[in-house]
Amino acid sequence: MKITLKDGSVKEYSQPMSVIDIASDISEGLARVACAGEVNGETVDLRTVLKEDCALNILTAKDEGGLSTLRHTASHVMAQAVKRLYPGAKLAIGPSIADGFYYDIDFETPIAAEDMEKIEAEMKKIIKENLPINRFELPREEALALMKEKDEPYKVELIRDLPEDAVISFYSQGEFTDLCAGPHLRSTKEVGKAFKLTSIAGAYWRGDEHNKMLTRLYATAFPKKEDLDAYLTMLEEAKKRDHRKLGRELGLFMMHEAGPGFPFFLPKGMVLKNTLLDYWREIHKKAGYVEISTPVILNRSLWETSGHWDHYQANMYTTVIDGQDYAIKPMNCPGGVLVYASQPRSYRDLPLRMGELGLVHRHEKSGQLHGLMRVRCFTQDDAHIFMTPEQIKDEIMGVAKLIDQVYKLFGFKYHVELSTRPEDSMGSDEDWEMATEGLRSALDALGLDYVVNEGDGAFYGPKIDFHLVDAIGRTWQCGTIQLDFQLPQRFELEYNGADGEKHRPIMIHRVAFGSIERFIGILIEHFAGAFPTWLAPVQVKVLPISDKFMDYAEAVNKKLEEAGIRSELDTRSEKIGYKIREAQMQKIPYMLVLGQKEEESGVISVRSRFEGDEGQKNLDEFIQEIQKEIADKVIRETHIEQK
């Protein structure tokens, strides 16, 4: 039996060997830290016995699959602790996720945040008991009987939904047995001490709002305590930066029960949003885009032609007008297609780059709504590019450079994924192969590192996704480039070629910000509400020391406004220290303090979020400096603590 390892070397064995035995043969050190094995791309238990030639990668907690195995095992330890403390609780599902793991549980009596300490203490006992974790399989009827005996109705439902010939596996540790596909560590002790229950939330069974609301216990686990401590510190920082909290405190946006998931932008939030849109229009005009606007509601036949009615209807809001079915648009692309088809096109017109700041609506389940990050209506900074096959590579490269320009402006680093054909898709294999290769060749030409995300493309074409990293290390998927051969075919789009014949254009769907609302939420958290001066809703706060200097303050404020600077005058009869603290809490970039010395000398005293007291300056000089800072879209680092 030949075992090909990750580094390309080959191990030969004359008899079957378990993954952990092979790890020990390679290195005792590797065996001590091993969490799982990856056999021909599938993650398996360390006790899995290999009987034939295969590719093997020994996974540790530094690997995604190894860390997932550690966390999945920790979720079983948490479930066992819950069952010990609350014997009447019913278990649903408990997977590992990107930042940890969770378990959905039906408690007889609701639990609160203070109960998490009891669960953690019981988990520590279970880990200390060093219970062996064993896997076993049962025929369907025996599996059902076991879960009925243990009074686990959610597990019974899951088993009934499995195919008749499915292998039904369980994992046991001490008195605890759970339905699970695995893989898991070999004992509870291997979970270690670096774990933490982080929050409690509600979750509908199977994500269906018509089902019972369960309690979701969120937690995380790491191989080392210092990794856990760093993660918990990040969570605390994330709480301080929560865009919902800051959005309320800074007067940017609000939510209301009259429209769950439909955000209201307040005056300062509109300044922020419009400043972003002005920037969007500026860079797109330079990049050769024209701007269009298409209707919010279009009839059913259009969505049937586009494929959305068959592939996306569950997320669409529909209505009836004059006895016909209509849908509120969840995407802008069919409208862009109609604009293209509204007149004859020539190869000389291509590439045709059409941008649209389109308001779209998508039905999101109430449990998934989250501030501006997950909403039911948002403005998408869409663009659709129609081109010849020969133009594909250059156009994709142009879009990638534009997205790079946007992210670099805000100080975002990012990584790239190439997503390929999903199961639910339309079009021929040839079209998909050509489209995927077009994206791949453009990425290679740009020299961008990327990973392939198999099966995660759009239903009409493969895509490139840009995942940006914010100030505290979280990632967000925003920009995307999707190459589409299908919609031009379905709508029978044409252009006259240089040969005088009719040809079919190729189409790119792309966004840079993605959802404007979501991007604003990301920016709020990235900057902790302390926006760069060019983006700040209020750029300067004018603070007279007392009412005696109000006339001078009004004159200064007027001059700032005439210079195009977003300035506010604080007219309240409050002490200057209080006014300064309030301006700091509102994260205003600049404060101008005006008293007798300033009025007599015709100057201003400048305090900034960046340097604190910057001393006295001539007003005209200050205006020129801040105008340049705004025009250049400078991002200055905040040094003064924002209380």
Query: What is the crossing angle of helices 392-409 and 267-286, to 10°?
Result: 140
Report d(CA 12, CA 28) in Å as an integer.
Answer: 18
Catalytic residue among 273, 362, 490, 510: 362
DSSP of 103-136, one letter per residue? EEEE-SS---TTHHHHHHHHHHHHHHTT-BEEEE
Element (H, E) at 60: strand 54-60
**Burial class of 259 by CB neighbour count within 10 A (0 to 12, 13 to 18, 19+):** exposed
> Residue 305 half-sphere exposure, CB side, CA atoms within 13 Å?
17
Which of 150, 305, 141, 120 is CA-nearest to residue 220? Answer: 120
From the CB of residue 513, how many other CB atoms can be counted at a distance below 10 Å? 24
The set of residues, in sequence order, having a beta carbon less than 8 Å from that of 639 and lying 6+ positions away, is: 610, 611, 612
380 is catalytic: yes
- 422: cis peptide before it, omega within 30°? no
Active-site choice (382, 404, 431, 465): 382
Q: Which of 193, 197, 239 is nearest to 218 (CA)?
A: 197
CA dihedral 129, 135, 138, 142 (to 10 degrees): 10
Q: Indicate which residue of 384, 566, 579, 587 is catalytic.
A: 384
Is residue 76 part of the annotated active site? The answer reads no
Cα-to-chain-centroid distance, residue 125? 36
- Token output for 480: 């995307």
From the candidates 463, 490, 607, 609, which is the catalytic residue?
Answer: 463
Query: Catalytic: 382?
Result: yes
H or E element: which one contains 140? helix 140-149
Q: Is 90 a catalytic residue?
A: no
Helix, strand or coil, per DSSP, at residue 91: strand
384: annotated active-site residue: yes
User: What letter would DSSP give residue 264?
Assistant: E
Q: What would the two tokens of residue 98 be?
A: 């990107």
Number of helices (H), then strands (E), belonging to the chain: the values are 20, 35
- List the catalytic residue out of 380, 391, 486, 586: 380
φ/ψ of residue 594, rounded to 5: -125, 120
Considering the candidates 35, 333, 377, 478, report the single residue annotated as catalytic: 333
Residue 245 near residue 225, CB atoms below 8 Å: no
The DSSP secondary structure of 47-98, one letter per residue, reads TPEE-S-EEEEEEETTSHHHHHHHHHHHHHHHHHHHHHH-TT-EE----EET
**CA separation (Å) from 70 to 49, 83, 102, 128?**
20, 20, 13, 16
Tokens representing residue 123 in the block:
């988990």
CB 578 within 8 A of CB 603: no
CA 229 to chain centre: 23
Q: In the 8-state DSSP scheme, what is residue 546?
A: S
Tokens found for residue 538: 């209020």
List the one residue out of 469, 486, 487 whose CA is nearest residue 478. 469
* Active site residue ranges: 333, 362, 380, 382, 384, 463, 509
